[in-house]
Amino acid sequence: MDARYKSRDIERRSLDVDGLKRSFLEWLVYSVGKDARAATRRDWFHTVALAVRDRVVDRWMDTTRSYYQEDAKRVYYLSLEFLIGRLLTNSLSNLGIVDECRQALDRLGLSMEDVVDAEPDAALGNGGLGRLAACFLDSMASQGLPGYGYGIRYEFGLFEQRFENGWQVEYPEQWLQFGNPWEFARPEVLYPVQFYGRVEEFRDSVGDRAYRWVDADRVLAMAYDTPVVGYGGDTINTLRLWSARATRDFNFGHFNDGAYMKAVEQKILSENLSRVLYPNDATETGKELRLKQEYFFTSASLQDILRRYLQHHTTFENLPNKAAIQLNDTHPAIGIAELMRLLVDQHALRWDDAWEITRATFAYTNHTLLPEALEAWPVRMIERVLPRHMQIIYEINAKFLNRTKARADGDNARLSRLSLIDERGERRVRMGNLAFLGSHKVNGVSALHTELMKQTVFADFHEEFPDRINNKTNGITPRRWLKQANPALSELITTRIGEGWISDLSQIAALRDKADDVVFREEFRRAKRKNKKRLAAYIARQTGEEVLVDSIFDVQVKRMHEYKRQLLNVLHTIALYNEMRDNPTVSWVPVTKVFAGKAAPSYHMAKLIIKLINDVAKVVNHDPSVHDNLKVVLLPNYNVTAAEIIIPAADLSEQISTAGMEASGTGNMKLALNGALTIGTLDGANVEIREHVGPDNIFIFGMTAEEVNDLRASGGFNPREVIASNPSLKRALDMISTGAFSPDDRNRYHPIVQALTDGGDHFLVTADFADYCRAQEAAMHLYRDPEEWTRKAILNTANMGWFSSDRTVNEYAGEVWDVHPVHPNHDGEGFR
């Protein structure tokens, strides 16, 4: 028998309870090196993870082999962030062995929850963009699409957030401290990546001008592979993350003692490249290390992609037929110049041929229109760090500008807008323009966002290339966000409509009929209540606060950002608090305001908003006059694991960004799928959620993107007038500004009050306040009628099928990537 298949016959493949139990014991002793009596929960987690990993390796190799055998076109998802979260439940669930594992652990006297809780949360991302990448990995594998994720193996993920005295304090997140059982280190997969140095011009063999990059510093990119288990375990794809390693090329002869130590130090410092994730969300700081990170992982990934391609091909004209490279935002956009460099300088292709191949291979996704988030690197920095790339960017730019209509029309303003170089002030490279120009498709992440891309940042490019911009509305994986996070609801759904929805979420529409079924409504409520109890216990553990399970769980969980308008929610909270105090005899619908989210460490306003929420919570939660009617909690350290507890328990989902500013949102989809009703503006994907769930089943308020645009164009508005005309808003703001929530420092919130008044209220918090309160009242009114509320909640769940990331990646596969499912040959039986 072929040696490759031997492992199939041994215990490592067994999926039954006994086999699992035996391999747990074996792993614990021989790999973790512990006696069962001395094993900690972490030891057991490592044991179980390693045993589960065993069960995917054969299929993983089958999958990879099938891709090679069919020479399938692959899609490479290049992303600086993958916000993965924990993997144990995910792997077990996608393999279909959750119960078997639970029983095996049970026989060993262990609780599955304890083992699951010992896994660190892999937070290699900041927010939406990184979590989207993780959902896409799950969907590509579950759809059988040959998809690879490429990114950085950060030693420190997104910081751990704690509150000290109500203020956010950041601590390092050392997720790799105790090792990572999911990954395979590949010390033999190493690529050199260069920085600095200079460019030398020379004549090639046929006498043409050519260039080489010399005297550069080098670092090595080493691969770590994590198997990505598709649902059903048929396809196991790969997430390849790069870690920086110092090169070993010392020239010992040249050093005296001091210089030697210095050289070694320099080498070690080069490993800092993959040390830490930048904690910015939609903001750029222009730090050189960040540019180097971007180039580091992009260059290594492209070298790896070309190596794989060259195993089957000797020339490059087929590259676009064999590889689709998706740029997750502009972070890997330097890859366009890098592929040109590799093709022209290293493989001696003609410029025009290389450009055609490059453009046909790349596609680019834009995730935000916020001007401060559009990457623009100083020309001087790129010249120094990546001198050859700067030349290539100039060349791309010159050729493009020479061809544009603008030149012919003499429209210099338009020409300078289209340029890859921003000449205003310090000269900068506009990475968005580079990404647009070097891609054959460019997409936004919701219908509204894509439309706004055409009208604003990319208006000139859209005119120039009218077929390039397309929409791909985001989605979420139903495996993690319903099946795993919400077992109570997902089991109920499966008993009624079968389990087809797990791999084809459109089938969840079969629940629509059940909205009118009293018994089903009762069961739906019971599942929600179970989740609310779980969250209440979590809140008590995390904050010490007791909340009423039968209150409305009104949830806003996302990064802290002014445009997301947590402030609007806080102002409503204060107004509601005042009303409850003024009218103690009214029978109020009890409300629990749940907030969670991290602020970028340098974003002072967002951190001040965190402190305000904590201060308001302190006052409200200790005021006996509102009793249990109102509670405010801000949960620390929001991450994927916390989201899995919070989202299934939500009644009301806050999606209240200033219209036109949230590109899509994906938390909005997770919450609605789990039966929360949305209160939101017509922004991002909320617009499409409304279309799918129906206008009667969502609370929409506030200005539209168009109205916001018109208002700003007409010179803005006077927030003071709005405030003066709304007594409850005025009172809430007065309380903040006079120190009602900060008696220890009455001026603490001056910057917030200032921004909302004389600062012009850029995010239109005051402008939308009255309509927001109206929508909140409507929600509270509806909550008094549990049957009607539940009916709408069920219709939300039932109508969210379209928002599966399976649908999204299928759209990309068909319309952008041209990749097709491959069915791996497993040479044996399937898992399920």
Among 367, 692, 748, 792, the residue binding ligand 4GP under the rule CB under 6 A is 367
CA angle 169, 375, 74 (to 5 degrees): 100
Which residues lie closer than 8 Å to 695 by C-beta, 6 or more apart? none
* Least Å from the CB of residue 126 to ligand 4GP: 6
4 catalytic? Reply is: no
CB 46 within 8 A of CB 88: no
Identify the residue whose tokens are 């580079």. 434
**Percentage helix, strand, coil for the chain under 3-state DSSP, each rounded to 5:** 55, 15, 30
* Least Å from the CB of residue 431 to ligand 4GP: 13
The letter for the amino acid at 296 is F
Task: Fill in the DSSP letter of residue 221.
Answer: E
User: Can you point out the beta strands (E) in 565-629?
Assistant: 591-596
Nearest alpha-carbon partner for 615 in 561, 558, 570: 570
**454 vs 820 by CB, closer to ligand 4GP:** 454
Among 662, 688, 768, 806, the residue binding ligand 4GP under the rule CB under 6 A is 662
β-pairing, 323-328 with 362-365?
parallel
Residue 399 backbone class (left: φ over 0; alpha: ψ -120 to 50; beta: rest): alpha
Which residues lie closer than 8 Å to 160 by C-beta, 6 or more apart? 170, 171, 172, 173, 637
**570 vs 685 by CB, closer to ligand 4GP:** 685
Q: Is 558 in the site for ligand 4GP (CB under 6 A)?
A: no
CB 476 within 8 A of CB 669: yes
Stretch near ligand 4GP under the rule CB under 6 A, chosen from 120-128, 242-250, 271-279, 510-518: 120-128
* Least Å from the CB of residue 669 to ligand 4GP: 9
Of these residues, 441, 558, 561, 631, which one is catalytic?
558
Cα dihedral 449→413→363→149 (10° resolution): -80
Of these residues, 53, 55, 74, 367, which one is catalytic?
367
Q: Is 373 in the site for ligand 4GP (CB under 6 A)?
A: yes
559 catalytic? Reply is: yes
Q: Is 635 in the site for ligand 4GP (CB under 6 A)?
A: no
Count of residues touching ligand 4GP (by CB under 6 A): 18
Could you give the CA distance from residue 760 to residue 766 in angstroms, rounded to a whole number? 10
Q: Is 665 in the site for ligand 4GP (CB under 6 A)?
A: yes
Q: Is 442 in the site for ligand 4GP (CB under 6 A)?
A: no
CA 271 to chain centroid, in Å, comes to: 25
Contact pattern from residue 467 through residue 496 relative to ligand 4GP, giving x for each residue in contact according to CB under 6 A and a dash for the rest: -------x----------------------
Q: Is 664 in the site for ligand 4GP (CB under 6 A)?
A: yes
Q: Is 334 in the site for ligand 4GP (CB under 6 A)?
A: no
Among 92, 406, 599, 663, the residue binding ligand 4GP under the rule CB under 6 A is 663
The letter for the amino acid at 531 is N
Q: Is 435 in the site for ligand 4GP (CB under 6 A)?
A: no
Stretch near ligand 4GP under the rule CB under 6 A, chosen from 580-588, 617-625, 659-667, 773-781: 659-667
Nearest alpha-carbon partner for 236 in 102, 57, 69, 362: 57
**135 vs 552 by CB, closer to ligand 4GP:** 135
Q: Is 129 in the site for ligand 4GP (CB under 6 A)?
A: yes
670 catalytic? Reply is: yes
CB 101 within 8 A of CB 116: no
Distances, alpha carbon 569 to alpha carbons 186, 595, 642, in Å: 48, 9, 21
Q: Is 127 in the site for ligand 4GP (CB under 6 A)?
A: yes
In terms of Cβ atoms closer than 10 Å to its own Cβ (0-12, 13-18, 19+), residue 208 is exposed
Q: Is 282 in the site for ligand 4GP (CB under 6 A)?
A: yes
Identify the residue whose tokens are 């001008």. 209
Stretch near ligand 4GP under the rule CB under 6 A, chosen from 264-272, 520-528, 658-666, 691-699: 658-666
* Least Å from the CB of residue 706 to ligand 4GP: 19
Torsion sign across C-alpha atoms 117, 123, 128, 134:
negative
* Least Å from the CB of residue 314 to ligand 4GP: 38
The Cβ of residue 587 has, within 10 Å, a number of other Cβ atoms equal to: 8
Cα-flanking dihedrals φ and ψ of residue 438, to 5°? Answer: -90, 10
Stretch near ligand 4GP under the rule CB under 6 A, chosen from 121-129, 297-305, 617-625, 724-732: 121-129
Of these residues, 441, 483, 528, 670, which one is catalytic?
670
Q: Is 238 in the site for ligand 4GP (CB under 6 A)?
A: no
Stretch near ligand 4GP under the rule CB under 6 A, chosen from 84-92, 227-235, 656-664, 714-722: 656-664
User: Can you point out the beta strands (E) in 711-817?
Assistant: none
**173 vs 523 by CB, closer to ligand 4GP:** 173
Query: Which residue has the CB atom at the shortest distance from ligand 4GP?
Result: 128
Cα-flanking dihedrals φ and ψ of residue 827, to 5°? Answer: 55, 25
Of these residues, 564, 572, 690, 791, which one is catalytic?
564
472 catalytic? Reply is: no
Cα-flanking dihedrals φ and ψ of residue 191, to 5°? Answer: -130, 140
CB 652 within 8 A of CB 628: no
681 catalytic? Reply is: no
Nearest alpha-carbon partner for 809 in 232, 130, 133, 67: 133
Q: Is 327 in the site for ligand 4GP (CB under 6 A)?
A: no
**62 vs 662 by CB, closer to ligand 4GP:** 662
The Cβ of residue 25 has, within 10 Å, a number of other Cβ atoms equal to: 15
* Least Å from the CB of residue 280 to ligand 4GP: 8
666 catalytic? Reply is: yes
Q: Is 450 in the site for ligand 4GP (CB under 6 A)?
A: no
Distances, alpha carbon 8 to alpha carbons 11, 235, 683, in Å: 8, 17, 51
Of these residues, 559, 561, 593, 631, which one is catalytic?
559
* Least Å from the CB of residue 657 to ligand 4GP: 8
Among 274, 368, 728, 804, the residue binding ligand 4GP under the rule CB under 6 A is 368
Stretch near ligand 4GP under the rule CB under 6 A, chosen from 156-164, 543-551, 577-585, 661-669: 661-669
Q: Is 281 in the site for ligand 4GP (CB under 6 A)?
A: yes
* Least Å from the CB of residue 343 to ligand 4GP: 30
CA 69 to chain centroid, in Å, comes to: 33
**150 vs 588 by CB, closer to ligand 4GP:** 150
CB 659 within 8 A of CB 708: yes
CA 68 to chain centroid, in Å, comes to: 30
Q: Is 277 in the site for ligand 4GP (CB under 6 A)?
A: no
Q: Is 443 in the site for ligand 4GP (CB under 6 A)?
A: no
Could you give the CA distance from residue 678 to residue 438 in angstroms, rounded to a whole number? 38
Q: Is 680 in the site for ligand 4GP (CB under 6 A)?
A: no
Q: Which residues are catalytic?
A: 367, 558-559, 564, 666, 670
Give me the residues that bind ligand 4GP (CB under 6 A), please: 126-129, 132, 281-282, 367-368, 373, 445, 474, 662-666, 684
